[in-house]
Amino acid sequence: MHAEIVVLPGDGIGPEVTAAAVEVLRTVGRRYGHAFALREHPIGGAAIDATGEPLPEATLAACRKADAVLLGAVGGPKWSDPKAKVRPEQGLLALRKGLGLYANLRPVKPHAATLGASPIKPHLLAGVDLLVVRELTGGIYFGQKQRGADSASDLCEYSVAEIERVVRRACALARGRRGHVVSVDKANVLETSRLWREVAARVARDEFPDVTLEHQLVDSMAMHLIAKPRAFDVIVTENMFGDILTDEASMLAGSLGLLPSASLGEGKIGLYEPIHGSAPDIAGRGIANPVGTILSAALLLRHSLGLSDEADCIEQSVAAVLERGVLSADLAPGGRGASTAEVTAAVLAQLELPCQVAELRD
């Protein structure tokens, strides 16, 4: 097949990890006979430096025309002056909103080979396989912001329609899994959460009688997530709670560098990015873990291009490489791990070997 993929490297380790995922996509394209046209555009701090804007019009236009978008990360100390008029993060938020990508899928499935890197006891992690569906284009991130001399405010707003569509997406995804959804809110305090809980309950009851829905307050959820992670299948929540809970959930897998994400709307186009940031503390050293971005490329193939066998192959290759002990510094005991280039080379080599799924079609 032919597909147009826009690559947005961004800042910090962004360019290092997208370069790895691009090599993976090129290898998959060559090996399985697909023509992937991969074109880079600026976003974030790099775009501010080049054009003054965190999301240049040309970048957004290219993304709108593409089949899928792969992003590294944005932000960094250079652009973090609290008085700055534009910030790299605004570019990412505008891109998510501009493409209507309201459902952010963040799967968490700890790999046996990296259990040792998790601060959680291994017996609690065996069999963990959960999916956080984070609402991505509403809530406190997008409400009106105000700054006065002595005060500031961020408005948190949700409409019924915004809650309905993301809960629907979560319930539909649960159907293909274990049929269990936990909706996370702060309904004991927040009005938006009381609306969230009401709408979630109605959508599940009326449209998904085969799916079980439970409600959980976000503070105790933060605790349950690490105390009994196996209890969860699909977790659906609002924008900021989902942001925070997924960085926490990355510790189940062993590193923030491992988790991928897919941001989806109503159409085929999606934005695929690791859940981590630009990691300024390790940027430029060639030691970033590329796995979260490589697995995001797998999600891109599955969700936007319909190439699920190829996606499976990437995931199997990553699993095999981790199993062989090719671990980047964030995962390696003592911190002396394989470089980004070494992990990537190992995945590319593994991709050349027969893959259990696609081999049937070769």
In the complex, what is the shortest distance from the CB of residue 53 to ligand NAD, in angstroms, rounded to a whole number?
A: 16
Which residues ranging from 6 to 35 are in contact with ligand IPM (CB under 6 A)? none
In the complex, what is the shortest distance from the CB of residue 243 to ligand IPM, in angstroms, rounded to a whole number?
A: 4
In the complex, what is the shortest distance from the CB of residue 136 to ligand IPM, in angstroms, rounded to a whole number?
A: 7
Pairing relation of β-strands 2-10 and 68-73? parallel
Pairing relation of β-strands 35-40 and 103-108? unpaired
Of 107 and 337, which has the nearer Cβ to ligand IPM?
A: 107
Of 138 and 290, which has the nearer Cβ to ligand NAD?
A: 290
**Cα separation, 148 vs 135, whole angstroms:** 29
Site track 326-355 with ligand IPM (rule: CB under 6 A), x = hit = ------------------------------
Among 16, 135, 243, 315, binds ligand IPM (CB under 6 A): 243
Candidate ranges 22-30, 138-146, 284-292, 298-306; the one touching ligand NAD (CB under 6 A)? 284-292
**Cα separation, 49 vs 79, whole angstroms:** 9
Q: Is 279 in the site for ligand NAD (CB under 6 A)?
A: yes
Q: Is 89 in the site for ligand IPM (CB under 6 A)?
A: yes
Site track 236-275 with Mn ion (rule: CB under 5 A), x = hit = -------x--------------------------------
Which residues ranging from 303 to 342 are in contact with ligand NAD (CB under 6 A)? 330
Of 88 and 229, which has the nearer Cβ to ligand IPM?
A: 88
In the complex, what is the shortest distance from the CB of residue 24 to Mn ion, in angstroms, rounded to a whole number?
A: 23
DSSP one-letter string for 125-165: HTT--EEEEEE-SSGGGTS-EEE-SS-EEE-----HHHHHH
DSSP one-letter string for 311-338: HHHHHHHHHHHHHTT--BTTTSGGG--B
Of 203 and 283, which has the nearer Cβ to ligand NAD?
A: 283
Q: Residue 310: which of Mn ion, ligand NAD, ligand IPM, none does it interact with, CB under 5 to 8 A by kind?
A: none
Q: What order of strands is seen across the sheet that includes strand 212-217? A: 35-40, 2-10, 68-73, 270-272, 262-264, 103-108, 130-135, 234-237, 180-185, 212-217
Residue 274 near residue 73 (C-beta atoms within 8 A) = yes
Q: Is 93 in the site for ligand IPM (CB under 6 A)?
A: yes
Q: Residue 93: which of ligand NAD, Mn ion, ligand IPM, none does it interact with, CB under 5 to 8 A by kind?
A: ligand IPM
SS3 235: strand
Of 29 and 42, which has the nearer Cβ to ligand IPM?
A: 42
Q: How many CB atoms lie within 10 A of CB 111?
A: 18
In the complex, what is the shortest distance from the CB of residue 93 to ligand IPM, in angstroms, rounded to a whole number?
A: 6
Q: What's the token pair of residue 276?
A: 């981590």
**Cα separation, 259 vs 242, whole angstroms:** 14
- In sequence order, the 6+-apart residues with CB closer than 8 A to the CB of 138 are 102, 157, 158, 159, 162, 238, 239
In the complex, what is the shortest distance from the CB of residue 304 to ligand NAD, in angstroms, rounded to a whole number?
A: 18
Q: Is 275 in the site for ligand IPM (CB under 6 A)?
A: yes
DSSP lists the bridge partners of residue 153 as 146
**Cα separation, 299 vs 262, whole angstroms:** 6
Of 192 and 261, which has the nearer Cβ to ligand NAD?
A: 261
Any idea which residues carry the catalytic annotation?
141, 186, 219, 243, 247
Q: Give 99's DSSP letter.
A: T
**Cα separation, 92 vs 301, whole angstroms:** 21
Which residues ranging from 61 to 100 are in contact with ligand NAD (CB under 6 A)? 73-76, 89, 92
In the complex, what is the shortest distance from the CB of residue 219 to ligand NAD, in angstroms, rounded to a whole number?
A: 21
Q: Give 85's DSSP letter.
A: S
Interface residue list for ligand IPM (CB under 6 A): 75, 89, 92-93, 243, 275, 277
Interface residue list for Mn ion (CB under 5 A): 243
